[in-house]
Amino acid sequence: MFRRTLVSTLSVALCASTAIAQDLPQAGSEYFTAGQALIAERVAAEPNTNTAKNVILFVADGMGIGPNYGIRLFAGQQQGLLGEEYNLPHDLFPHSAIMKTYNINAQTPDSAPTAGAMNSGVKQVFNTINLDDTAIYDDCSSEVPLRLFSEIVADAGKSVGIISTASVAHATPAAVYAKTANRNWFHDAPEGCDDIALQLVNQFEAGVIDVALGGGIRDFAPEGTALDNGTGRRLDGQDLLARLDGLGVQYVHDAETLAAADRSQPIIGLFANSDMSYQEDRPEGEPSLLDMTVTAIEQLQTNEDGFYLMVEAGRVDHALHGGNAHRAFTDGAIFAEAIQAALDMVDLEETLVIVTADHEHVINFQGYCGRGTPITGLCMDIASGQIEHSGEPALADDGLPYTVVTFGNGAGSVLIEQEDGTYAGARPALTQEEVLDPDYLQQALIPMSSETHSGVDVGLWATGPWAHLFGGTMDQETIFHVMNHAAFGSAE
């Protein structure tokens, strides 16, 4: 009775809304009709309460609300649009939330405990991965390991994959499988502790990890060993590549060998000595994030029981640290393509897809800029009588133009160290040609060799089974709880 009454009420309300809309002078506007269509879609939508056979967690490292906005405009402008009207694939997801990212002991977080929170369900200590709240950074005797979502799904017979354009031992991918008191123990750790690369191999052997694709080959071979994409750095003499081979794990090192890999067997792909190339600079033989995502899903889908895949655009973060908006946005654009490819390959009736970031950066978007202003360029004045910008740069009080994107701190600071150790400077007269160069570093205020993270909340977008559990403002560790509920119904 209640359901019938509710449906009737909604139908009457929608009809009334439509009738009222017909009487409004703005009813013919494309903006108005799009809004009406969205409301109708939302009214008709029903929550997906199926069991999630598969879970895909997309993490663009550092892609808070600000970088997501920049990537959206950049991707749209690359397709010949003004940019503002464009939508990234996840912008169209039906459910979203704002996520708090602080760590147990840090207002401004780092990637290790934030990614760990997503995979464990609890907040963690700065610079540690998947240890309880008693952990002491750099002290392996304090390690009390947590149980991870990857281990839970593997015990249920599902497959697990990780992808990163950084090293596979870097903080975010490591959070899927590793537990360590120091996120930087990539290939060596104090006596009595396992380094991160060794833990990855151990998790392959334990049947937890089935696919790992990214950079970081140096972490898997003895010091000085010549490798396909670099040179070994391990001081303990262990040849982890040989051990993986003995476990039946396929090793691939470029786009060609990745494409030829047997999708029915475990795969490790190590395509760079440390981090992989930015998309802007990627050589032909190096697979893109899109390539790796497609391959991983093809392999993981051979398991009829389902899978968990974490995909990281790790170098978005690195470009932002460098103060280089162009490379941050180009890596973000290929991240969006990887999301779309995944959506095209899976059934959303049985696959929960989440897109988020581990933390924000101190990136700013400023000025009263006209429509279609190049997002990596100068802020162009708003025009009268036309939609697109005027073609003339907006000027600050110093009479000089300024870019849309700046940073609160970083390598592009206008303050330069003087001979006496103090800092001083003035803004240069920028040109559009100069700032649109892919190598241009956007202006910053506080001088720092590497731009910092921000503690500001990040966005989350979700679709598929139980995605409706996301909403409002939530703590980042809630991601684990939604994934776990979607796949299994309750916490283990």
**Contacts for 3 with CB less than 8 Å, ≥ 6 apart:** none
Q: Is residue 413 part of a domain?
A: yes
How far apart (Å, rounded) are the C-alpha atoms in residues 491 and 55?
16
Pairing relationship of beta strands 95-100 and 473-475 according to DSSP bridges: parallel
Q: Is residue 197 part of a domain?
A: yes
Q: Is residue 373 part of a domain?
A: yes
Quote the pLDDT of residue 21.
65
Q: Are residues 408 and 480 in the same domain?
A: no
Q: Which residues are annotated as a binding site?
A: 61, 170, 172, 312, 317, 321, 358-359, 453
Instruction: Please name the amino acid found at residue 28.
Output: G
Q: Is residue 435 part of a domain?
A: yes
Q: Is residue 43 part of a domain?
A: no
Which two tokens mark 428? 């240069």
Q: Is residue 48 part of a domain?
A: no
Quote the pLDDT of residue 15.
53
- The sign one gets for the Cα dihedral 278, 283, 287, 288 is positive
Q: Is residue 198 part of a domain?
A: yes
The DSSP bridge partners found for residue 162 are: 212, 310
Are residues 56 and 309 in contact, defined by beta-carbon separation less than 8 angstroms? yes
Q: Are residues 370 and 423 in the same domain?
A: yes
Q: Are residues 253 and 141 in the same domain?
A: yes
CATH at 162:
3.40.720.10
Q: Are residues 319 and 394 in the same domain?
A: no
Q: Which residues are annotated as a binding site for Zn(2+)?
A: 61, 317, 321, 358-359, 453
Quote the pLDDT of residue 458.
99
Quote the pLDDT of residue 322.
99
Are residues 187 and 233 in contact, defined by beta-carbon separation less than 8 angstroms? yes
Which two tokens mark 40? 């109708």
CA distances from 179 to 105, 173, 175, 374 (A): 18, 12, 7, 43
Closest alpha carbon to 299 in 291, 245, 203: 291
Which two tokens mark 49? 């309460």
Please write down the HEC assignment for all residues of the chain.
CHHHHHHHHHHHHHHHHHHHHHCCHHHHCHHHHHHHHHHHHHHHCCCCCCCCCEEEEEEECCCCHHHHHHHHHHHHHHCCCCCCCCCCHHHHCCEEEEEECCECCECCCCHHHHHHHHHHCCCCCCCCECECCCCCCCCHHHCCECCCHHHHHHHCCCEEEEEEEEECCCHHHHCCCCCECCCCCCCCCCCCCCCHHHHHHHHHHCCCCCEEEEECHHHHCECCCEECCEECCECCCCCHHHHHHHCCCEEECCHHHHHHCCCCCCEEEECCCCCCCCHHHCCCCCCCHHHHHHHHHHHHCCCCCCEEEEEEECHHHHHHHCCCHHHHHHHHHHHHHHHHHHHHHCCCCCEEEEEECCCEECEEECCCCCECCCCCCECECCCCCCCECCCCECECCCCCECECEEEEEECCECCEECCCCCEECCCCCCCHHHHCCCCCCCCEEEECCCCCEECCCEEEEEECCCHHHCCCEEECCHHHHHHHHHHHCCCC
Pairing relationship of beta strands 211-215 and 267-270 according to DSSP bridges: parallel
Q: Are residues 406 and 459 in the same domain?
A: no
Quote the pLDDT of residue 10.
45
Quote the pLDDT of residue 46.
96
Are residues 435 and 398 in contact, defined by beta-carbon separation less than 8 angstroms? no
Q: Which residues are annotated as a binding site for Mg(2+)?
A: 61, 170, 172, 312
Q: Are residues 419 and 434 in the same domain?
A: yes
Q: Are residues 356 and 277 in the same domain?
A: yes
Grouped pLDDT means (10 residues each) for the chain, 492 residues: 42 53 88 96 96 99 99 99 99 99 99 99 99 98 98 99 99 99 98 97 99 99 98 98 98 98 98 99 98 99 99 99 99 99 99 99 98 99 98 98 98 96 96 99 98 99 99 99 94 46
Q: Is residue 159 part of a domain?
A: yes
Which two tokens mark 118? 């997503």
Give how many domains the chain has, as a whole number: 2
Quote the pLDDT of residue 23.
87
Q: Are residues 460 and 433 in the same domain?
A: no
Residue-number span of the structural domain to which 372 is assigned: 364-451
Quote the pLDDT of residue 103.
99
Q: Are residues 238 and 368 in the same domain?
A: no
Which two tokens mark 280? 């802007």
Q: Are residues 385 and 466 in the same domain?
A: no
How far apart (Å, rounded) are the C-alpha atoms in residues 124 and 338?
29
Residues in the chain, how many? 492
Q: Are residues 148 and 285 in the same domain?
A: yes
Residues with catalytic function: 111
Q: Are residues 154 and 285 in the same domain?
A: yes
Quote the pLDDT of residue 12.
45
